[in-house]
Structure 1
Amino acid sequence: DDVICRLPSQEQCCKVLLLDVDLIQACWRKMERNDYRPVFVFIDGIFGGGVSNHVRVHLRKKYPAYCFLDLSCGPVSSVADRAVECFYELYGGRVDYSCGLDGETLENGHDRFGRLEAGLLGPSNWSETTPIHIFAYSLGAPTARYLQYLLAKQAFIDEMGRPIRTSASWIASICTCQAVNNGTDAVYAAGLSRRTLEPVAMSPMWWIFNAIYLLVWLNLPLLNRRLGMRLEHWQARREHGVGLWRLLTWRPGVKNNAARDLCPIRMADINARIAQELPCAETRYVACGSCCTSPLVPSLHRALGPLGPLAEPRWLARNSTHYSMRHRPRLRVALGVADAVGG
């Protein structure tokens, strides 16, 4: 049955994750798998938004015998790029973005290869017999599902060019919070054109893109570590001989980014692709969501982090009082095997 809760958002999230871990714990005990240490992976959403740090600390304290991993996939990258980064961060090896193309081609300026990852788990600790459990927030939900889709297709290759034998059963469960599996119209309100699926000039999204271009072009190590943009696979830096004016007029990445994939049209295409392989009968899917829990503009600030002020139009700031705390959050949790779209 569905469960309805009325709790502060982070407490909601914590209770849902605790419920999920308890169910998984009971399952492993029933299977008498005392030789395996369950691994739980956090996948954040756009701009790095996700489960708060104190919730993660609480989970680690409550379940010290379990392994909790934080993945750092690109906060503004496309769903396919994020899924590929998640795989290699767990498995190890040179990130190969061509693995997530599925018949498409890399956009001009997009390198095929990215970072060399050591592998948080490695080949010996991640397989059908030692699967992982995923906690995904917002854009992390389609990222997790696309990762499972690529695993089912055995799309990944190692550094020698040999295919890696994978399957959808490498993921035992996916728990999503505030998932955007069907996309959101919010990207249109932020300035994404419905016709071209590119930022409209002078819109909040257009300014955010320009700020990201500047950060990538400058390539300052301190800023890169602080923001964690993970955009070094784009040939848009000063070291590549690209001038700032050329970068702003060229505008690479307009067809390969999180905002474009978040629109309902693109997400429908992604869902149709995923439906060819998923859902997996051996994976448990949990989905939960809630309504607005705080004023809109402060929430936007928190979601965008250092780039928050760029997305605050004055008219929105003046009228943000309409979104008050009296709208109590309602959390809806669906347990069981969901369809390919998920929650």
Structure 2
Amino acid sequence: MESRAIPLSMTDLVEQEENLSLSPLWTDIDWNRDGRQDTFLNLEHSVHRSAYGIVPIPVSLFKNGSGPTLLLMAGSHGDEYEGQAILTRLIQSLDADAVSGRIIVLPAVNLPAAMEGSRVSPLDGGNLNRCFGDTFSDNPTSRIADYIANTILPMCDVFFDFHSGGSSLEYVPCTYANVSGDPSKAARTLEALEFMNAPIAWVHQGIPQGPEAGRAAYRSGVVYLSGEFGGGGRVSMQATRVAERAIYRLMSHLKILPLANEWKDESESRLMRASPQHYFYADRDGIFEPAAALGDEVAKGDLSGTILNPETPAQPGTKVLFPASGTWICGRAIGRVRRGDCLGHLLADVSRDEILAAE
């Protein structure tokens, strides 16, 4: 698989020559040059205290010869720390000479949110992973999404997007993939997901409809892989181990980097999927007290927990039942809930044949 290069236009050449910007997001990186480059995507942000200010979003590129291009991205939500930590360590340890192809690493892509430790950007309240629709607004967060969708993704073959439950949710660590489009691409995506060999591989079937990064990848013909690695506003050693192993196995699968012995052992892995009925929500305010643990196998109608009201302690609590059978993969990490808050969701086992037959 050859690397997908972006040719420089005359405008690009003029901008590089004069070091001028005609775009609200610009960089001095040379996407086609071999070797290692550590620099920034400079997002122009003009405010009262800094008329010509920029937000310097870190980016590292490792390129050596021909081969596929892999985009590794974390920090779309600033309070999802696991991917940010892993990609920071990867940047420190990766040797460009050992790479066959090109790796683009964005360890804190929504930098304002990452520095704030917030799901959304403090600059505009933007949720980066909800800005990849068919059009882009003229605000800082959407400009980042626009650059990823229209400049970076067209260079790429595979996109691995790191997520977790953030501050409000916690996940049993799992990888995730959009398996959609033509049968050949669906098979390639599933092969990559299976080779990553996470304990749980969550498969979403169908073309992404929401304005998430997977939709932008689909529009560019890029294989989209992701994962939910922990959460709860902290960094889990177990979750980062699953995620790190997935990275190195994916790079080996793509023949970008040889696989170290540390990651070669095969583990048991379950293919799973979710549907809307696997999600459950608070129907009133209060404190949610779980009656089961993440990772438990549950049946439809089992008690998931009780919503209690300390402000009216004499009133009985409200029981919340699991809406379907499956594995409790994700649960709320904050005890206090409001009506409409997601309390968690389940996953159910699915076979490889069922997934590919649906395509």
- TM-score normalised to the size of structure 2? 0.28
Instruction: State the structure with bigger RCO (CA 8 A, min sep 6), 1 or 2.
Output: 1
- TM-score normalised to the size of structure 1? 0.29
Structure with higher Rg: it is 2
